[in-house]
């Protein structure tokens, strides 16, 4: 069995996360038992939710254990199998974590899923045709419930979730507006992802300024908002929401370092009779097949061209992850793993 490089959570961050919170270790891979498979990972997914799990705090996910491999989504191939349902060479997606190999009990429901790479690249199963894509689908379809002609807004618009949201929203006939950081991301949002407009939040120092930009981009107000950021962005959006608007709360990356995120105008939730609903996509596994079917079609037909930022080698994962939290990535952040 091969030696396996892993990245463990060594200590918990105080305030901002740093590279010193992580530790690279080399371990021996255990022999396979009946029902298990050995997966060699090709790509590792880096996602904002991982920052919350680094804290030892009550949250929707169990905290990441210290001295253990960081959890996370992976795609790869089966290189050894003691399970009749998986053959050597099968391409699979699972939660292998920040390591080169994983031993998976493939008999557990949902532990490992075979994927077809004929029309969809393997890496896409960690982005547009994976958890981020289904996240966008659930927030839009099940919480916001868009109708043709309505105006949809998403923050972190060019990331893995935002880019899928754009394709799904446009497919439903909605005016779709993004909020992203920097002119390059905003150009890409409009030219490649099909957003009707994209606002560069870096040009706005406060919520009133961003609110004015939203008024221009959303002349009929905002009917649905997909929240990834919080803070000033949420304050600005709340001032532009239409009566009976819907807000799907997926993430609050502005508050991941532990600083409180006060709301300036909570009364607007009442005044405009808004629906504000948080959700965790892993609690809604029943919708995944329907969502993945639509997302797979969008990618295979070229209607969803999601960009990827790829860091090379497991050792690059901590810095790439810290960059993701600062918005340095362009599109879905992945780590390409080598032997």
**Which architecture does CATH list for 3-127+306-336?**
Alpha-Beta Complex (3.90)
Q: What is the helix (H) or strand (E) element at residue 132, kind and residue range? A: helix 131-137
**Pick from 47, 12, 102: which is nearest to 309 by CA?**
47
Q: What is the 3-state secondary structure (H, E, C) of 165-188?
A: HHHHHHHCCCEEEEEECCHHHHHH
pLDDT at 308 over 60: yes
**Which architecture does CATH list for 131-282?**
3-Layer(aba) Sandwich (3.40)
Q: What is the model's pLDDT at position 175?
A: 98
pLDDT at 151 over 80: yes
**Pick from 45, 193, 25: which is nearest to 131 by CA?**
45
CA distances from 167 to 60, 128, 194, 302, 306 (A): 28, 10, 7, 10, 10
**Strand boundaries in 96-212, DSSP class E:** 101-105, 112-114, 151-155, 175-180, 197-200
Distance from C-alpha of 337 to C-alpha of 42, rounded to nearest angstrom:
5
Residue 109: both structure tokens together: 């429901």
pLDDT at 119 over 70: yes
pLDDT digits (tens, 9 = 90+) for 209-222: 999 999 999 999 99
Q: What is the helix (H) or strand (E) element at residue 333, kind and residue range? A: strand 332-336
- Residue 210's contacts (CB-CB under 8 Å, 6 or more residues apart) are 179, 199, 201, 204, 232, 233, 236
Least confident residue range of 164-178, 231-245, 246-260:
246-260
Q: What is the model's pLDDT at position 257?
A: 76
* DSSP-assigned states of every residue in 3-45: EEEEEEE-S--SSS--GGGEEEEEEEPPPPPTTEEEEEEEEEE
Q: What is the model's pLDDT at position 88?
A: 97
Reported confidence tier of residue 68, pLDDT bands at 50, 70, 90: very high
Q: What is the model's pLDDT at position 185?
A: 95
Q: What is the model's pLDDT at position 339?
A: 54
This model's pTM is above 0.75: yes
Q: What is the model's pLDDT at position 146?
A: 98
% residues pLDDT > 70 (the chain): 100
Q: What is the model's pLDDT at position 61?
A: 72
**Pick from 196, 208, 199: which is nearest to 150 by CA?**
196
**Pick from 34, 248, 50, 20: which is nearest to 154 by CA?**
248
Residue pointed to by tokens 């309505």: 150
pLDDT at 48 over 80: yes
Distance from C-alpha of 335 to C-alpha of 329, rounded to nearest angstrom:
12
Distance from C-alpha of 3 to C-alpha of 59, rounded to nearest angstrom:
34
Q: What is the model's pLDDT at position 338?
A: 72
In 10 A of CB 327, how many CB atoms? 18
Distance from C-alpha of 7 to C-alpha of 97, rounded to nearest angstrom:
9
* Domain segments of the chain as ranges: 3-127+306-336, 131-282
Q: What is the helix (H) or strand (E) element at residue 223, kind and residue range? A: strand 222-227
pLDDT at 70 over 90: yes
Distance from C-alpha of 306 to C-alpha of 161, rounded to nearest angstrom:
10
Reported confidence tier of residue 58, pLDDT bands at 50, 70, 90: confident
| Contact (CB, 8 A) for 178 and 153 | yes
% residues pLDDT > 90 (the chain): 88
């Amino acid at each position: 069995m091969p030696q396996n490089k892993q990245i463990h959570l060594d200590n918990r961050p105080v305030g901002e996360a740093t590279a010193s919170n992580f530790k690279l270790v080399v371990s021996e891979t255990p022999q396979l038992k009946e029902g298990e498979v050995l997966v060699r990972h090709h790509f590792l997914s880096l996602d904002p939710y991982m920052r919350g799990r680094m804290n030892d705090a009550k949250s929707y996910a169990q905290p990441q254990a210290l001295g253990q491999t960081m959890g996370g989504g992976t795609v790869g191939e089966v290189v050894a199998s003691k399970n009749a349902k998986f053959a050597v060479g099968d391409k699979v997606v699972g939660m292998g974590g920040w390591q080169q190999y994983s031993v998976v009990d493939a008999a557990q429901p949902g532990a490992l899923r075979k994927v077809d790479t004929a029309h969809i690249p393997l890496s896409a199963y960690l982005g547009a045709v994976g958890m981020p894509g289904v996240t966008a689908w659930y927030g839009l379809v099940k919480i916001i419930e868009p109708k043709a002609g309505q105006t949809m807004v998403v923050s972190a618009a060019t990331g893995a979730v935002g880019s899928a949201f754009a394709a799904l929203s446009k497919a439903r006939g909605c005016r779709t507006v993004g909020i992203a950081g920097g002119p390059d991301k905003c150009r890409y949002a409009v030219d490649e992802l099909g957003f009707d407009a994209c606002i560069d939040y870096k040009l706005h120092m406060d919520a009133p300024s961003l609110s004015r930009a939203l008024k221009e981009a959303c002349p009929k107000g905002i009917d649905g908002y997909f929240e990834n950021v919080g803070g000033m962005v949420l304050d600005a959006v709340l001032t532009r929401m239409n009566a009976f608007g819907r807000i799907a709360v997926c993430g609050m990356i502005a508050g991941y370092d532990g600083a409180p995120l006060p709301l300036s105008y909570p009364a607007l939730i009442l005044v405009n009779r808004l629906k504000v609903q948080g959700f965790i996509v892993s609690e809604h596994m029943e919708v995944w097949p329907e969502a993945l079917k639509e997302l797979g079609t969008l990618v295979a037909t070229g209607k969803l061209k999601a960009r990827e930022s790829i860091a090379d080698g497991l050792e690059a994962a901590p810095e790439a992850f810290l960059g993701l939290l600062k918005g340095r990535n362009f599109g879905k952040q992945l780590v390409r793993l080598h032997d």
